[in-house]
Amino acid sequence: MSELKQVVGAALVDSLAAPTKLLAARRTAPEQYAGMWEFPGGKVEPGETCEEGLHRELHEELGVRVRLGAEVPGPGIQGWPLNAKAAMRVWLAEVTEGIPAPLEDHDELRWVALDPRELKSLSWIPADLPIVEAMLDTALRP
């Protein structure tokens, strides 16, 4: 039984085959998350699969089409716990069409080196920190 709201997010990298950078997005709302960095994405809508929801969110938020790569495996069937009400599944992805722009929900996008120190220097939503670590493993594994 799933009781948690399903959120999906993308670890957008410059290249799935040879990733060197991750696109981090800075949220504008709500107040508790404004100014914090996150994986672009959002809530899956009724009738959508997680993957469909992620493609839709990335098109709405960033204006891009993407190819999904491996999922960053989380501890639960719904992915990574975010709070008492929501969990997030996260996929690696690369842009196939368009140039990411902060069209909705974000005021800044930043390509950050896939380096633990560089990544951790951003103020991520706290729940995202373990996901950032796991994303590095998934992205950089041979």
Ligand X SMILES: Nc1nc2c([nH]c(=O)n2[C@H]2C[C@H](O)[C@@H](COP(=O)(O)OP(=O)(O)OP(=O)(O)O)O2)c(=O)[nH]1
Kindly state whether residue 22 participates in binding ligand X, applying the rule CB under 6 A.
no
Q: Which of 15, 34, 35, 43 binds ligand X (CB under 6 A)?
A: 43
Smallest distance, Å, CB 102 to ligand X? 13
Kindly state whether residue 39 participates in binding ligand X, applying the rule CB under 6 A.
yes
Q: Which is nearer to ligand X, 9 or 19 (CB)?
A: 9
Kindly state whether residue 91 participates in binding ligand X, applying the rule CB under 6 A.
no
Smallest distance, Å, CB 15 to ligand X? 21
Of all residues in the shown chain, the one whose CB is closest to ligand X is 42
How deeply is 75 buried, as exposed, middle or buried, from its count of CB atoms within 10 A (0-12, 13-18, 19+)? Answer: exposed
Smallest distance, Å, CB 9 to ligand X? 4
Q: Which of 38, 72, 106, 136 binds ligand X (CB under 6 A)?
A: 38
Report the distance separating Cα 46 and Cα 53, nearest Å: 9
Smallest distance, Å, CB 142 to ligand X? 26
Kindly state whether residue 16 participates in binding ligand X, applying the rule CB under 6 A.
no
